[in-house]
């Protein structure tokens, strides 16, 4: 018995020493071990990686160097310092492309605009901007958003509300944005937002791919290559997802080319100009400088679908979750919506058109505030072409990635003040109306030359959905289902946003 007791004491002492080693250093930086670097701390906190990263950044004045395993090529300067971000995204933009490692990590996106750098990126961005700014597209966007709310979203919500059913609001928002984005990008409506709740293979494949890409960020590239070669784990799911996405997109492209051969240009303009149609017609005219072959069209469609479906649905999910916690904000939005319509229409069900909600200050501020706290893309990274020193004093070189932590940025007192953790739409409102924050402080729509060209599209869709739901329905989020971030490159929830709905005016 004495021998057993001594063994237990020795074992307990060893465990105590190990736990002490795992504790952060006095400066708040995770402990770096020989050979494995800071990986033990990362793996212990992987389930809460966003909050863990925020804690570390707060203790290190918004920037710290993560040291990966020896020879793993994982050393990363993690920052949420606005000065660093402005320098990288604007002042010295040419020295900080996304780089070959980014393209390898997001290889499913091919040579699309989100992977492209330098001249290829400039050419694609110019073409995409011209398309999104075209009057025909803007009209198509407004018409599509209104129709999808009226004929897709409302029938589903009515079906659920009248039967007292529980629904996953995140799933509803993803179906809405998937249908809407698919129409805008390809011209086809998958009609997955319906009371039948059909299985959406494209959406499931996107989720699997995003999860696999997340894990590529937190393990050595050599391990990813091994898993890919063995075709197991996340890499096996990734390969299958890639095949599903390719199969569906190829069919869209083939069908569109076939239709355009039979249609005249006047009829196309009357029905509205989707991106796929625009690019194919432009390629036929040889006027854009882009080679719009099937490979290019496939890469462009997938990138736009990922951006359009996932970012907007994520923003809506967290927005409505925050509203469920702050009924006073919801009441202010309702009052603002009432102020935008005739008095005789304020006590009955109604949908809002784009002009009615376009200039609503409080609604816009509430959406921005939700995105500040829960950015749909919680992190992004760059890589310097040559050695440099960031404004924070941290040196960087081509062997070190730079990761922007957008999630942490919204939670820094040094950036947003002592009340940074509070949901306060008022922080976006001034006497003149909407208060515009610098993009390097509010990075959710990117900054500098790579500022998001789809920002207006996102706000049109978010306001259409938010006004329709808030004004017509009461949402009761189920407390028994925890709402926490999933492990993904998009800030999805782990278990969805489960809720019941009831009509506000019955």
Q: Are residues 169 and 272 in the same domain?
A: yes
Q: Is the pLDDT of residue 7 over 90?
A: no
* In contact, 354 and 463? CB cutoff 8 Å: yes
Under the banding of pLDDT at 50, 70 and 90, the label for residue 4 is: very low
Same domain for 469 and 429, yes or no, is: yes
Predicted confidence at residue 1, as pLDDT, reads 47
Q: For residue 287, what are the domain limits?
A: 92-375+410-503
Same domain, 211 and 73: no
Query: Do 54 and 145 have their domain in common?
Result: no
Q: Are residues 253 and 238 in the same domain?
A: yes
pLDDT band at 391 (very low <50, low <70, confident <90, very high): very high
381 within domain boundaries: no
Q: What is the pLDDT of residue 289?
A: 63
- Taking only the tens place, the pLDDT of each residue in 260-312 is 887 765 555 555 588 999 888 876 655 556 778 899 999 999 999 988 889 99
The total number of structural domains that make up the chain: 2
28 — pLDDT class (breaks 50, 70, 90): low
* pLDDT tens string 455-499: 999 999 999 999 999 999 999 999 888 899 999 999 999 999 999
> Quick one: three-class SS letters along 196-250?
CCCCCHHHHHHHHHHHHHHHHHCCCHHHHHHHHHHCCHHHHHHHHHHHHHHHHHH
pLDDT reported for residue 273? 81
Please check whether residues 272 and 346 belong to one and the same domain.
yes
pLDDT tens for 217-227 read 988 999 999 99
Could you read off the pLDDT of 124-154 as tens digits, one per residue?
999 889 888 888 899 999 999 999 999 999 9
Q: Which pTM was predicted?
A: 0.91
**Minimal CA–CA distance to 84: which of 375, 412, 307, 371?**
412
pLDDT reported for residue 23: 52
Residues 275, 403: one domain? no
Helix%, strand%, coil% for the chain, nearest 5: 60, 10, 30
CB contact set of 461 (below 8 Å; sequence gap of 6+):
145, 176, 177, 180, 312
Q: Is 382 part of a structural domain of the chain? A: no
Asked whether residue 389 is domain-assigned, the answer is no
What pLDDT shows up at residue 17?
44
Q: Are 403 and 467 found together in one domain? A: no
388 within a domain of the structure (yes/no)? no
State both tokens at 280: 């194919």
One domain, residues 306 and 344: yes
Say if residues 330 and 470 touch (Cβ distance below 8 Å).
yes
3-state SS class at 38: coil
62 known member of a binding site: no
CATH number at residue 171: 1.10.630.10
What pLDDT is recorded for position 291?
78
Pair (402, 459) in one structural domain: no
Read off the tokens for 97: 């492309």
Position 385 in a domain: no
Q: Which of residues 358, 385, 409 is at a domain's end?
A: 409
- Are residue 29 and residue 12 in the same domain, yes or no? yes
Please name the residues in contact with 242: beta carbons below 8 A apart, sequence gap of 6 or more: 108, 205, 209
Residues 72 and 35 in one domain: yes
Helices 455-472, 169-186: inter-axial angle, 10-degree rounding: 140
The answer as to whether 307 is a domain residue is yes
Q: How far apart are CA 164 and CA 23, in angstroms?
A: 49
**Residue 291 DSSP SS3:** coil
């Amino acid at each position: 018995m004495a021998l057993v007791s001594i063994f237990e004491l020795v074992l307990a002492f060893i465990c105590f020493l190990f736990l002490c080693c795992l504790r952060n250093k006095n400066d708040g930086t995770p402990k770096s071990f020989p050979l494995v670097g800071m990986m033990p701390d990362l793996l212990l906190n992987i389930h809460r990686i966003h909050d863990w990263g925020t804690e570390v950044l707060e203790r290190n004045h918004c920037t710290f160097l993560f040291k990966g395993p020896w020879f793993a090529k994982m050393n990363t300067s993690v920052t949420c310092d606005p000065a660093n971000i402005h320098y990288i995204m604007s002042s010295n933009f040419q020295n900080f492309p996304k780089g070959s490692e980014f393209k390898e990590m997001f290889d499913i996106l091919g040579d699309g605009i989100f992977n492209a750098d330098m001249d290829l990126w400039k050419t694609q961005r110019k073409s995409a901007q011209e398309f999104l700014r075209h009057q025909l597209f803007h009209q198509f966007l407004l018409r599509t958003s209104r129709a999808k709310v009226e004929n897709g979203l409302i029938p589903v919500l009515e079906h659920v509300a009248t039967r007292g059913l529980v629904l996953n609001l995140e799933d509803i928002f993803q179906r809405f944005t998937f249908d809407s984005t698919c129409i805008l990008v390809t011209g086809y409506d998958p009609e997955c937002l319906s009371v039948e709740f059909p299985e959406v293979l494209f959406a499931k494949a996107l989720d699997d791919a995003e999860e696999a890409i997340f894990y590529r960020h937190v393990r050595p590239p050599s391990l990813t290559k091994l898993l890919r070669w063995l075709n197991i784990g996340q890499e096996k799911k990734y390969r299958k997802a890639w095949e599903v996405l390719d199969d569906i997109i190829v069919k869209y492209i083939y069908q569109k080319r076939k239709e355009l051969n039979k249609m005249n240009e006047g009829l196309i303009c009357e029905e509205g100009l989707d991106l796929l149609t625009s690019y194919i017609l432009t390629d036929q005219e040889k006027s854009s400088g882009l080679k719009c072959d099937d490979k290019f069209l496939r890469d462009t469609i997938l990138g736009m679908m990922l951006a359009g479906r996932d970012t907007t649905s994520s923003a809506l999910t967290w927005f409505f979750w925050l509203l469920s916690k702050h009924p006073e904000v919801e009441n202010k939005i309702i009052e603002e919506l009432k102020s935008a319509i005739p008095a005789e229409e304020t006590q009955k069900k109604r949908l809002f058109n784009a002009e009615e909600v376009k200039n609503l200050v409080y609604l816009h501020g509430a959406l921005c505030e939700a995105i500040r706290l829960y950015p749909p893309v919680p992190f992004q990274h760059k890589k310097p072409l040559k050695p440099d020193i960031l404004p924070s004093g941290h040196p960087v070189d081509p062997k070190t990635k730079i990761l922007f932590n957008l999630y942490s940025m919204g939670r820094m007192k040094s950036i947003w003040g002592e009340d940074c953790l509070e949901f306060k739409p008022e922080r976006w409102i001034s006497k003149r109306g909407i208060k515009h924050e610098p993009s390097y402080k509010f990075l959710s729509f990117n900054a500098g030359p790579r500022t998001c060209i789809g920002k207006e599209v996102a706000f049109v869709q978010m306001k259409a959905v938010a006004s329709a739901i808030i004004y017509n329905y009461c949402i009761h989020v189920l407390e028994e289902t925890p709402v926490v971030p999933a492990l993904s490159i998009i800030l999805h929830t782990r278990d969805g946003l489960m809720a019941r709905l009831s009509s506000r005016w019955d």
